[in-house]
Amino acid sequence: MPPKVIQISCGPEGSSAKYLLADNWGRVTKALQERAELSIMESPDDIGSTMKKINPSAVIVIEGGIDRLESRLIAEKSELKAFVQNGGIVLFCGLIASIISKAEFERIFGENGFNVGWTFGRYIGYHAGSDDKKVKGHYGNKVKGNLNRNAEVYINDSLNLQSAQLPDEIDPFRPLVVTVENPAHVLYSVVDPQVMTRAEYNGVGVMSPVGRGFVGFWGDRDNDVAQTVEVISAMLGLPCKKQQ
């Protein structure tokens, strides 16, 4: 029986986010449907009851709508926090990497949220919605990502990542870079010539144990590199296609 996964897609109706979800991230949804029993939620209102009914092994939060999701992500009795504490996997990726603000990011992953010590680093390439000139740049700017075999989740092989055929290198892309307190949380490091010191504290893919489960973030904003599907599937604990 395939593992059960819930995909949460909670952007505003009629927004460009809905188009981008289907156009840019449809390949990920299709891959998850091939590897898991996938249930798609478009509203956060029934997260708790849906999770109890489906009993998933993982939840992927792929779309925007953070304003509608936030209380359920960071509240003391958040359904997703409890799910992770009890052994589940929650992965944030997709449009969230393009839409999330620094404040939202740090509320989710800071001490009032999952408390993993991750902060919003910077965008690679142009980010039209930013008021901070420091995170803007030429749209053509891209970086590579490298698999960190010293990552905690890779070393202890909690998610069977060592046999998941994870790519060693991510093709040049424009991710959101995350800064961590613990370099063992970096699953994919960023190859960025602008980062000359403490480079090991910056990642384009990060993952940490929380309680008996795991929380992760994948920074690809455009889904224009082939490796994203495999990385997301592996971070959700799903077998690669060849293993099925």
For residue range 3-61, list pLDDT tens digits in order.
999 998 865 555 555 555 666 788 899 999 999 999 998 776 777 788 889 999 999 99
Q: Which domains does the chain have, with CATH numbers?
A: 4-243 (3.40.50.880)
Each residue of 108-127: pLDDT tens digit? 899 888 999 999 998 887 54
Q: How far apart are CA 60 and CA 232, in angstroms?
A: 9
Confidence at residue 113, expressed as pLDDT on a 0 to 100 scale: 86
Q: Of 58, 236, 241, nearest to 159 (Cα)? A: 236
**Residue 221 · residue 176 · CB < 8 Å:** yes
Q: How far apart are CA 30 and CA 143, in angstroms?
A: 26
Q: What is the DSSP letter of 175?
A: B
For residue 90, is pLDDT > 90? yes
pLDDT > 70 fraction of the chain, expressed in percent and rounded: 78
Cα distances (angstroms) measured from residue 64 to each of 11, 30, 95, 143, 187: 5, 19, 6, 24, 23
Residues of the chain by 3-state class (helix, strand, coil), percent to 5: 35, 25, 40
